[in-house]
Structure 1
Amino acid sequence: MKNIILLFICLISNTSIDAQLKIGDPLPNIYLPSNLKNEVRLLDYSGKILLVDFWASWCAPCRKANKKLVDLHREYAPAKLEIVGISVDTDRSKWLKAITKDNIEYTQLTDPHGFEAKSAIQFGVEALPASFLFDPNGKLIAINPTEQEIKQQLNHNKK
């Protein structure tokens, strides 16, 4: 019985490791509803640098990061950078209030199932905030990049 339990634990841990996106992986093809009630496809953002940011209204570090992302968006979007926030909030009204309070103007999507959300699983999100930077070809170039790293990529990919 101990061997069966150990085997089961190994299988589960390998599954979660394999689910984590790795540098060079392609942008997952995800469709999610936005705060504007339209459905958005992540692959529609190819051709530009894309930052996908997982967050929630109850996550204090996420809310602090939102302020920096708002400034980054105002400085670089839409010509050089697209930012897409994906909330794992289970309460839509709290999510919408946080968007308003944080003055978020970039695309906001919701996958309201917490860490069990399909998008969170596809990206391998296990803690918040979590962000993923993709190049214009849709390849992952950084996981949880700093503001400086994002700006370096923007300068590196000047057209």
Structure 2
Amino acid sequence: MFKIRNIGAILLVFFSISLVNAQIKIGDVLPNITLQDTKNNAVKLNSFKGKTVLVDFWASWCGPCRLANRKLVKMHDKYKAKNFEIVGISIDTDKSKWIKAIEKDKIQYVQLIDPKGFDAKSAVTFGVEALPATFLFDATGKLIAINPTESQIITQINKK
């Protein structure tokens, strides 16, 4: 009985370490994840390397996300000519609600969906536990900030 408990404890520790290692950390690169856009095209997340990229996890049912969308739409419009891209990743389970939210919020930047809620592979990879959640990558594709402030994003955009 003692040995079984020890094995269980060891497995629990191993599983916990595996989960921690699966989550993206500062210094990691844009993950190789492929998701569908609004037109059902496959889009590779790491294809945005070469630009300053803000990955924004959100959902149509998330009030704070919808408020953040207003700011992100303005930011994208202002800085898209400066090699800046926002990639929205929705964890909506209802694609029609996601599409309606994009239209209502007038989002013009890239939108992708991973429709399994918080269990979605992308959400697990990024360690998303609450929405909205944002991740800022520099032009080399390296993660430089998690949930950055607007000034951190603008500073990165303006770096030459």
1:8-19 correspondence to structure 2 within 5 Å: 8-19=11-22
> 2:68 maps to what in 1?
65
Name the structure 2 match of 1:135. Answer: 138
Deviation at residue 101 of structure 1 after TM alignment:
1.0
Shift of 1:41: 1.2
Consecutive unaligned residues of structure 2, counting only runs of 5 or more, are none
Name the % identity. 59
Distance 2:150 2:65 in 1: 14
Runs (4+) of structure 1 exceeding 6 A deviation are none
Partner of 1:74: 77
Alpha-carbon spacing, 1:78–1:33, altered in 2? closer, same or farther (3 Å): farther
Is 1:27 paired with 2:23?
Answer: no
Answer with 116-125 or 105-114: which moved more: 116-125
Aligned length: 157
1:111 aligns with 2:117: no
Q: TM-score, normalised by structure 2?
A: 0.91
**Distance in 2, Cα, partners of 1:129 & 1:52:** 10
The residue aligned with 1:49 is: 52
Distance in 1 (alpha carbons) for counterparts of 2:11 and 2:119: 19
1:97 paired residue among 95, 100, 124: 100
CA RMSD, Structure 1 to Structure 2 (Å)? 1.4
Gaps of 5+ in 1: none
| Residue identity matched to 1:104 | I
In 2, Cα distance between equivalents of 1:87 and 1:116: 12
Deviation at 1:145, TM superposition (A): 0.5
Give, in angstroms, the shift of residue 153 of structure 1: 1.0
Pairwise CA distance, 1:6: 3.4
Quick check: which has more Rg, 1 or 2? 2
